[in-house]
Amino acid sequence: MPRILIMNAGTPQMSGAHLTKAQLSLAANSAFRSAWFAQEGDLIVSPVVIPADLLSFIGGTLNFHSSALRLLVPASRQSTILDDCTLLSKTVVERLKRHIRQKSDWQLYPCYSTEGVARLAAILGIPKTGDDFALQRGPDLLNRKSHFRQLATSVALPLPHGSVATDPNGLFKAVTSLKSETGTVIVKLDNGAGGVGNVILTSNKSDPLPGARDTRWVSWPSFDPEALWSEMTTASCKTLVVESYHLARSLFYLEYTIQDDASIAFVNSGSIRLRKSADRSERALIRTGLELPSDLEEEQLLAAQAHAYRFVALARDLGYRGMINIDAIFAQDGRLLFNEANGRWGGGSVLHNIAVRLLGVDYFGCNVILSVRNVRSASFRAAHDRLVKDGLIFDHTRKEGVIPLAADEKAGTVECVVIAPNRPAAHDQQHRLLKS
């Protein structure tokens, strides 16, 4: 059944009404990356034009004819966000209607199930279980950090101690009560995606820590809640979450799909990999990529899955259908702590999709999938040619090698996917990619 892929990452529901330049750039790059979900006959609705050579390479790699894909990019776009207003515009709706008349059965496959997506489904006559929940903006419950704490508490997920602040006084009380546990707290913007809305406050001199855009040394007596409140909150988001911060031994995520028939399927789990910047003034760690499967011990993975399943079951019972991922850590003291959930495509969703289509559904047992961000390259074509020249390009016979995923030509980098039979081989490929 052909699908309408809706590349609506970075919507106001996910990241707030006022996005930074970095967030806008990430949303555009997400569209290139998400093109790897495409299958023959699909229609892609994207906020940006996806290069023809990328679509051709995707088709060649995943064994389908990219000429059978169709791309719809709303005209006169002033930003790189496919919001509900644009999605429901007369021009977009009419173009979609003309296209879907060619075939009888279609599915909508959005990154984020917004109210606008549900309304579009009704207009196009493509009903989907979960649309009623989306019409009431239900998925927003699964993409807010404050709601996550509330829902996770109801199913007894292990969480860091914390509270929700809705004004500077509440922020001061939360920080004051939590700072003594570890000497470090994390303050999170309710709807900030990718850690860009988080600030870590610590009484210990520290290098940048995972999970935030900034790690700051503070003298608690001089802590100014008014200043931090003014800096972090936005016109569209006046809620902060404050938690005690725990150093992590393992950072990972778990991803599930809630099917239309209400069944829950475990999709994948991956480790989140970070590194320090070469720039000593940088106050955030650089996310280098994901590693599937996660490097958790079997007992740890089973424990995390048992807890996470309860949260996913709650999301199902509320009415949500679609993909959902949950971030967690094993702290240095061995405790399992959950951080947040996202009811949408996750960072590992594309990697899992590629692995299944190239290796089969049981790839976890005999392969390691590694995403490598920020590989220096002037363009997607240049990256591809280098991989061919160096003998690194994915080999369909051996079922291993490197696949260029998407380019950020403004930054001069490409994200690549390494497919290897084990972790040492995957890490060796990564080293070869980054050495030049």
Give pLDDT, residue 262: 97
* Boundaries of every domain in the chain: 3-136, 161-244, 248-434
**pLDDT, tens digit (0-9, with 9 covering 90-100), for 50-93:** 999 999 999 999 999 999 999 999 975 555 689 999 999 999 99
Q: What is the CA radius of gyration of the chain?
A: 22
What contacts 238, CB < 8 A, 6 or more positions away? 166, 167
**How open is the CA angle 275-278-280, to the nearest 5 degrees?**
105
Strand partners, 414: 375, 407
Write the class of the CATH domain 161-244. alpha beta
d(CA 155, CA 198): 25
Helix (H, G, I), strand (E, B) or coil at 294: coil
Q: What single DSSP character describes residue 67?
A: G
Split at pLDDT 50, 70, 90, the class of 1 is confident
**pLDDT, tens digit (0-9, with 9 covering 90-100), for 324-366:** 999 999 999 999 999 999 999 999 999 999 999 999 999 988 9
CATH of 248-434, one of 3.90.1150.10, 3.30.470.20, 3.90.1170.40, 1.20.120.790: 3.30.470.20
Q: Which amino acid is at 227?
A: A
**How open is the CA angle 116-132-103, to the nearest 5 degrees?**
65
Q: Provide the percentage of residues in the chain whose pLDDT is more than 90.
A: 80
d(CA 64, CA 412): 29
Q: Tell me the average pLDDT of the chain.
A: 91
**pLDDT, tens digit (0-9, with 9 covering 90-100), for 202-261:** 998 888 899 999 999 999 988 999 999 999 998 889 999 999 999 999 999 999 999 999
